Amino acid sequence: MSVSLCREDGVYEGGRELKATWRVSRVTLDALSAIEISVLWYTEGKGDMDLHVHYFQRLEEEQIRRSGLADQQSLTCLLPATPLSYHGRLIRLRWCVRMRLFLNSGREIVTDQPFHLVAPKSIQPGKSHRVNAISLGFQPPRKRPDAGNDSAG
Amino acid sequence: MARFPRPWSKKRGKRFIGTELRSLLWETAFYSGVFLVGVFVLSLVLINELASWEHLEAFKELTQIQTDAVTPPELNGGGLASWVFGILGIAAIGSGAGGLIYRLVRVGASSERRSALATRASSIEIIVPASGDIDKMPSVPRGDSLTDSPGERLTYRLAAENPGGGELLGPMLLALLWNAVWFVLLAVVVLGFWYGSPRYILTGLLIPFGAIGYWSFRFFLAQLRRTAGIGPTIVEISDHPLYPGCKYRLFVSQSGRLRFRRLNVRVACEEETVYRQGTDVRVERYEVFTEELCAARDVRVDPQGPWEQQFTLDLPSNVMHSFVGAHNAVRWKVIVSGEARPWPSFCRSFPVVVHPPGLPPKRSPR
């Protein structure tokens, strides 16, 4: 399965629109029980994780059969102004588009497509975003490997 | 050699020893057990209490319940024992049912789905419509209470994080309650001697209890002296909330009757994380940014002439805005700290809110 963003640099201004496309391949319709797509932020670091979902869509088995898996699906959402992506000493705040596949066998497969939320009016038009964005220690987006995370027994 | 299956699982950081399913099953069994024990104890209490009601005689005859036979002797004491067991039963039912519901709600739902449901539930307008400001900047503290008092020199007077009264309340309660109990015990001992039945063990205990009472009262007086001696700190700011890349004026006043060896004023950004380590909940803080505005030495302060200074705060453009999550936070504050003799060193914080840049500033009628 794959998720791709509308901006190549993966940097979005707060309050602007995010467009992404997703697709599931190499999984048959019979094996799927549900798909969840969410746009969310979560924290990493020493503290317990905070997670907040900004956009959420769940496709049940019936809906997946109706739309099929062959075509690319898209999602559009208006991003909030805050919290901005942040890379600190104890806390890292990351934004991502997360896709979670629920298989009939009880397994779950998760993939994240990270992106950066930066302050409004900090991206100059026609230029790709530089590393001088908000945060103490800004890091370029890293794509998590498209690996299956078994979280159900 | 075959390993005996362990009925528990242990969480180490983010990973489990044993399967999550096993922990789910055992937690469910535990909470169900607590709930059922609560039901059993409460039933015994109710049967015992209601058995004395006259209009239940017909029910007793019908069921042929011999309450004396089925009720444990602890519950036959009536009054107080029944109340204690009744309350314990209700508490067990409540904690068992609560734990069971909490655990079962987490089954079959991803963390994203639970968060989305919680967001949807919190956005339902029950009494008053939700304020637009909260939706515009989620996870940024509003900080309305920080600016509800106007300043004398500048626009806002900032509220201190730990007001002076809070430091005195604990020592005062400890000193008063402990010494009150000590005097009650003293009265019991004196009456014992007076009526010819002396209580020697209690008399012996009065000495260490008295020492603790003396220490607590002395500690309370030291805290009172420290709070009253150092005097209040006033911090005022020209505008609030703050925006990265902007300049602000800051006024600081320190009163009291003392001489500071060192007095510092700085603005700091602090990361704060809450995490569980075993069964402990720990909080860790780290200052990621600090700007020193003043580092004065040998400052004399007296009631007629408080130390007053005005500074310019130049906030860099590449700093993180204020952020508050359930377990993590980025907090900004003005910190006034000092060292004085004979007083112990002090540190007072005045929280401020920093908004992200690029948003239209919030204008106040002030």
Q: What is the pLDDT along chain B (366 residues), one digit of tens a residue?
A: 555 556 555 555 555 555 666 777 788 788 888 988 988 888 888 877 776 655 556 655 655 555 555 555 544 545 677 888 889 999 999 999 898 888 777 666 677 777 777 777 766 654 444 444 445 788 898 877 777 788 888 999 998 886 555 677 888 889 889 989 999 899 888 888 888 888 888 899 999 999 999 999 899 888 777 776 777 889 999 998 999 989 999 999 988 777 888 899 999 999 999 998 888 899 999 999 999 999 988 888 887 788 899 999 999 988 999 999 999 999 999 999 988 776 777 888 999 999 988 776 655 544
Does domain B232-352 fall under CATH 2.40.340.10? My reply is no
State how many domains chain A has.
Answer: 1
Pick from B138, B276, B326: CB nearest A80: B138
Nearest to A89 among B111, B115, B286 (CB): B286
Which region among A74-83, A116-125, B112-121 has the lowest average model confidence (pLDDT)? B112-121
* Plot region of B94 (φ>0 → left; ψ -120 to 50 → alpha; else → beta): alpha
H or E element that contains B182: helix B164-194
Long-range contacts of B82-87 (CB under 8 A, 24+ apart): B82/B45, B82/B48, B82/B49, B85/B41, B85/B44, B85/B45, B86/B41, B86/B42, B86/B45, B86/B46
Contact B115 A51 (CB under 8 A): yes
Give the CATH number of the domain where residue A86 resides: 2.60.40.640
Q: Are B236 and B159 in contact (CB under 8 A)?
A: no
Minimal-distance CA residue of chain B relative to A90: B271
Nearest CA among B281, B276, B286, B362 for reference residue B320: B286
Which uninterrupted H or E stretch holds B294? Answer: strand B280-301
Please name the member of A91, A93, A136 whose beta carbon is closest to the beta carbon of B319.
Answer: A136
pLDDT digits (tens, 9 = 90+) for A35-58: 999 999 999 998 899 999 999 999
Residue A98 lies in a domain: yes
Phi, psi for residue A122 in degrees, rounded to 5: -100, -10
User: How far apart are alpha carbons B237 and B229 in whole angstroms?
Assistant: 25
pLDDT in tens, A55-75: 999 999 888 888 887 788 899
C-alpha A143/C-alpha A96 separation (Å) is 10
Of A151 and B259, the one with more pLDDT: B259
Measured between CB atoms, which of B139, B328, B356 is closest to A47?
Answer: B328
Q: Does B288 touch chain A (CB under 8 A)?
A: yes
Residue A57 belongs to what domain range? 2-118
Closest CB to A89 among B288, B318, B323? B288
Q: How far is A134 from chain B (nearest CA, A)?
A: 5
Check if the beta carbon of residue A109 is closer than 8 Å to that of residue A34.
no
Beta-carbon pairs below 8 A across chains A and B: 135
Contacting residues of A for B289, CB less than 8 Å apart = 136
How far apart are the CA of B245 and the nearest CA of chain A, in angstroms? 11
Give the pLDDT confidence score for residue A49 in this predicted structure.
92
Structure tokens at B107: 């089954």
Q: Residue A141 falls within a domain, yes or no?
A: no
Q: How far apart are CA B305 and CA B86, in angstroms?
A: 64
What count of Cα atoms within 13 Å lies in the side-chain half-sphere of residue B100? Answer: 15
Q: Do B292 and B334 touch, CB atoms closer than 8 A?
A: no
Measured between beta carbons, the chain B residues lying within 8 angstroms of A88 are 271, 286, 288, 320, 330
Query: What are the angstrom distances between the C-alpha of A18 and each of A68, A78, B132?
Result: 24, 6, 21
Contact B328 A45 (CB under 8 A): yes
Interface contact flag, B116 A53, Cβ < 8 Å: yes
Is A145 a domain residue? no
Neighbour-count burial of B111, counting CB atoms closer than 10 A to its CB (0-12 exposed, 13-18 middle, 19+ buried): middle
Radius of gyration of the CA atoms of chain A, in A: 16
All residues of chain B having their beta carbon less than 8 Å from the beta carbon of residue A87 are: none
pLDDT band at A132 (very low <50, low <70, confident <90, very high): very low
In a domain, A109, yes or no: yes
Beta carbons of A90 and B139 less than 8 Å apart: no
Q: Which residues contact B275 (CB under 8 A, 6 or more apart)?
A: A46, A47, A48, B281, B282, B284, B327
* B276 contacts on A by Cβ (under 8 Å): 48
Q: Is B152 on the interface with A (CB under 8 A)?
A: no
Using an 8 Å CB-CB cutoff, list chain A residues near B115. 40, 51-53, 56
Residues of A engaging B, defined by a Cβ cutoff of 8 Å: 13-14, 36, 38, 40, 43, 45-53, 56, 58, 80-84, 86, 88-91, 93, 98, 100, 108, 119-122, 132-136, 151, 153
Does residue A77 lie in a domain region? yes
